[in-house]
Chain A
Amino acid sequence: MAEVRFDETIHAPVRLRICGLLRQVDRMDFALLRDTLEVSDATLSKHLKIIITAGFASSAKEASAERKDARRLTWISLTPAGRRAFDAHLRALQQIAAPDGVPQVAARAPQLRFEHLHP
């Protein structure tokens, strides 16, 4: 049976959105991720650092002949652990959101608030 687990690291709105986008691809450029989420560099960096520290994502800077500064392409991808954690978290959300949602899941996530999802 597929795992259903509410993850506090992924739970934060911006981090949930980051994982949601990265889950769809093998890897994504930092700038595209930032522009799609419509957040600042600093905000994205801060949340990425937390996700990477948790072992849920990894980043790799790409060498470039024309760019030797911080504007080099930075590829971000979810790790296998990150994909598993996001999938389990997504299933938990789906259970909570279902009309006959599983009360136990909701009870384990009493502070589930997403006011900041729509800036």
Chain B
Amino acid sequence: MERNSDATRRDAAIALSTLADDRSRLAARIRVPWVLLAALGGLAALGVVSPAIANPGDDYQPPLVVGMAVLIGVIIVGYLIQRGTGIRFRTMGVAANAALCGVVATCLLLFMLSLALVSLELRWTLVLTGAAAFVVTTGLARVAYRSAAKRLRRG
């Protein structure tokens, strides 16, 4: 009886260990194509440089069309990432959410900076804010997915 109990305990432990191995294997398979991460960066850059077509001042009109295009683009790229990885996460974890919040905060700051630069007639400098938005968004989106994969490995 004791021997049966030990075997049962050992088999349960093996089953739990196999579940952990499967999670590790799945996490190792998650590869978000660089082109899609870069597409997210490109969309962020587009949003940040959108003040270039605006006219700051009393008759300022926010570039809503560009904003809508960016929003739709993000939804499409998000969907393509799901298809590319074969996974839709229920939650991506605190670190991934922090990275995504970082993307939003940085892009908002860069957008305001772009507005200020346009008001100073320095439209050419939007190349720099756009490039910064591209780099930060691409990098942090990668960090977010890596963090989600790490979280998945832990279970």
> Measuring CB to CB, which residues of chain A are less than 8 angstroms from any residue of chain B?
13, 16-17, 20-21, 24-29, 31-32, 35-37, 73, 75, 90, 93-94, 96-97, 101, 103, 106, 109-110, 112-114, 117-118
Contact = CB atoms under 8 A, between A and B. Distances in A.
Closest 9 CB pairs of A and B: A29-B86, A32-B86, A96-B12, A97-B12, A20-B19, A26-B90, A97-B13, A26-B88, A117-B18
B152 A24 contact: yes
Contacts, number: 87
Interface of B: 4-5, 7-9, 11-16, 18-19, 22-23, 25-26, 29, 83, 85-90, 152, 155
B22 A20 contact: yes
Nearest to B5: A106
30 contacts: A16-B19, A17-B18, A20-B19, A21-B26, A24-B23, A24-B152, A24-B155, A25-B87, A25-B88, A25-B152, A26-B90, A29-B86, A31-B86, A32-B86, A36-B25, A36-B26, A73-B83, A73-B86, A75-B88, A90-B16, A93-B15, A93-B16, A94-B16, A96-B8, A101-B9, A112-B8, A112-B11, A113-B7, A114-B14, A118-B18
